[in-house]
Amino acid sequence: MRASTFRRLMNLWPPFFFNSIRVQHVAEDWSEVKVVLRLRPWNRNYVRTQFGGNLFAMTDPFWMLLAMHQLGNDYYVWDKAGAIEFVAPGREDVYAHFKLDAATVDELRTAAANGQKVLRWFEVDVTTASGEVVARVSKQLYVRLKPKARAESPASP
């Protein structure tokens, strides 16, 4: 799927659409995603700040999706664990910027080359437009080379 098509579909996905979460940008090479969570009357918490569930939701799928698209179909990629640290109240729109560089993708490929599972943590800050950190989100990915790709690899024992 093209990154631009993916962006449009994600913006129509009900958990994002109804909670004012918008994917602003997806790089064509799947190396970068930018997301915004607009503060609206229907997605505020009791004290009128960003609802913590939405802060986590706006970050939830992106590390896995970036890794899946960059690694390709020969790999299993799953979310294994996640955590969020609330740093400050979100009293305005907030943003998350994900960047998965080629060097990190190469590290994942190398670590998974023998068919072992690879567990790797990734972090993203959720910030205001001025850069104030509202939350820090950590996601652990599970990456493993699929059995068929292991069997076809010339480096396999």
What are the mean pLDDT values of the chain's consecutive 10-residue runs (157 residues total)? 93 95 97 97 94 96 97 97 97 98 97 96 98 98 94 58
| 111 CB-side CA count, 13 A | 15
- On whether residue 157 sits in a domain, the answer given is no
Per-residue confidence (pLDDT) for residue 153, from 0 to 100: 58
In-domain check, residue 73: yes
Query: Count of domains in the chain?
Result: 1
**Residue 91 is part of a domain; what is its CATH number?**
3.10.129.10
Would you state the pLDDT for residue 128? 97
Contact at 8 Å (CB) between 104 and 53?
Answer: no
Which domain range does residue 84 map to? 3-152
pLDDT of residue 67: 98
The whole-number pLDDT of residue 1 equals: 83
Is 98 inside any structural domain?
Answer: yes
| Residue from 95, 76, 81 nearest 37 by CA | 95
